Amino acid sequence: MAEATFAKGLEGVIAAESSICKINGEIGLLSYRGYEIADLAENSNFEETTWLLLFGHLPSATELADFTKKLASRRAIDSYIVDVLRALPRTTHPMIALQAAVAAHGSVGEIPAGPDPRNVDRAIDLIARFPTMVAAFARIREGLEPIAPREDLGHGQNFLYMVNGEVPDEETGHIFDVCLILHMEHSFNASTFTGRVVASSLAPMDASVSAAVGSLYGPLHGGANEQVLHMLKDVPGPDAAAQWVADALASKRKIMGMGHRVYKAKDPRSFILESFLKRISEKRGDDRDYRTLKTIERTMGEIVEKQGKKIYPNVDFFSGSLYQLLGIQTEEFTPIFAIARVVGWTAHILEQWQENRIFRPRALYTGETELKWKPVSDR
């Protein structure tokens, strides 16, 4: 057996081979299957990038048309899943509701784990139905009836329609689709790793994906953009932001949406989100958040540079404010992340099953040894 090393949080550990996503954190590059994220954000759409991540190459025109149709035709969820969502208390966090709905989705037509073509279909079902599950619970917890999906709308546009009951304008639909592309995949993050670990035991697709949803729920992973909004409530405004950052850093407070374990440069996704936030802020005549965030970024850059640290905006820095301007409620931010990331999760689970070996690391034991059991009367 190879000599074991210990790395807290598995930092720097390579846990598997993968051809899905490449990150160069030093210079801030991210690519899916060899295509730069900025190229995909500029030119692709949800359906095409989904195909790329699942099948490893860009689709032909016919493949794309068929796939787009297939995804749209599978959006509806069975009534028993809506019943599961209705049975939950209205105070349930939407991520818990989503995890329950995905587990319930797995209770019908279970397919054995492994490289079975039916699992590709299962992945497509989940990708198509995540928005319907999230939107249904968003309405149920408001005391409203779920809205059935429409096949004639794009993936993101249909989701917003199912939440609000109104078809968003094309620009909003497009921006939302690009946001989904940006969040689809990010290599071995906690939730993707969770999904692969569960799948490696040969648990079925839906069980593996519902575990990944649970992993994404945590504030150290999926919840950071929500934290940025809380932070912005604290900052008195764009003009006071520089002083606010200086004070926060002096008292060793973390600035939300800044810094990353892997990126030591500005996250490539944050450039795109920033440009959308700027555009929508100007259109809506409400650029308070945008100007505040830019001042925070600039001031923080100046301060940490002097300290020799590399801390830049990550994907969450601009996205919360953008979602807010698009009329999305804060509690839906993490479920929206899941609507996108389910593509990465399922692509990874399918890859895991190509050459599966169960994940089984070891622990560095730090407990007692050689104790002798005593009867309870002697303890």
Instruction: Give yes or no: 169 in active site.
Output: no
Residue 261 in the binding site for ligand COA (CB under 6 A): yes
Cβ proximity of 280 and 287 under 8 Å: no
Instruction: Give yes or no: 316 in active site.
Output: yes
Given 95, 311, 325, 340, the residue binding ligand COA (CB under 6 A) = 311
Which one of the spans 25-33, 199-207, 248-256, 280-288 is the region binding ligand COA (CB under 6 A)?
Answer: 248-256
**Among residues 155, 183, 260, 348, which one is catalytic?**
260
Given 95, 258, 339, 347, the residue binding ligand COA (CB under 6 A) = 258
Q: Which of 129, 182, 202, 209 is nearest to 322 (CA)?
A: 182
Buried/exposed 254-285: b ≥16 CB within 10 Å, e otherwise: ebbbbbbebbbebbbbbebbbebbbebbeeee
Record the tokens describing residue 289, joined without a space.
Answer: 């958040």
Which one of the spans 79-87, 200-208, 256-264, 323-331 is the region binding ligand COA (CB under 6 A)?
Answer: 256-264
Nearest to ligand COA of 195, 259 (CB atom): 259
Residue 314 in the binding site for ligand COA (CB under 6 A): yes
Which one of the spans 128-136, 164-172, 314-322, 356-364 is the region binding ligand COA (CB under 6 A)?
Answer: 314-322
Question: CA quadruple 198, 199, 203, 208: dihedral positive or negative?
Answer: positive
Nearest to ligand COA of 167, 242 (CB atom): 242
Residue 21 in the binding site for ligand COA (CB under 6 A): no
Residue 245 in the binding site for ligand COA (CB under 6 A): no
When CB distances to ligand COA are compared, the closest residue is 259
Provide the minimum distance between the beta carbon of 252 and ligand COA in the complex, in angstroms, as a whole number.
7
Cβ proximity of 95 and 216 under 8 Å: yes
Beta bridge pairs of residue 24: 29
Given 309, 329, 330, 331, the residue binding ligand COA (CB under 6 A) = 309
Nearest to ligand COA of 146, 259 (CB atom): 259
Residue 260 in the binding site for ligand COA (CB under 6 A): yes
Nearest to ligand COA of 149, 257 (CB atom): 257
DSSP symbol at 32? E
> Which residue is listed with tokens 């917890």?
141
Provide the minimum distance between the beta carbon of 319 and ligand COA in the complex, in angstroms, as a whole number.
10
Nearest to ligand COA of 99, 225 (CB atom): 225
Nearest to ligand COA of 169, 302 (CB atom): 302
Per-residue three-class SS string for 269-321: HHHHHHHHHHHHHHHHCCCHHHHHHHHHHHHHHHHHHHCCCCCCECCHHHHHH
Question: What phi, psi does 32 have (nearest 5°)?
Answer: -105, 120
Given 149, 259, 268, 344, the residue binding ligand COA (CB under 6 A) = 259
CA distance 283 to 352: 45
What one-letter code names the amino acid at 57? Answer: H
> Which residue is listed with tokens 């991540």?
53
CA distance 59 to 63: 5
Instruction: Spell out the residues 6+ positions from residue 218 whose beta carbon is closer than 8 angstroms to its own.
Output: 190
Given 136, 205, 235, 255, the residue binding ligand COA (CB under 6 A) = 255
Site for ligand COA in 267-296 (CB under 6 A): none
Q: Which of 172, 222, 218, 184 is nearest to 323 (CA)?
A: 172
- Residues near ligand COA (CB under 6 A) are 224, 254-261, 309, 311, 314-316
Catalytic residues: 260, 316
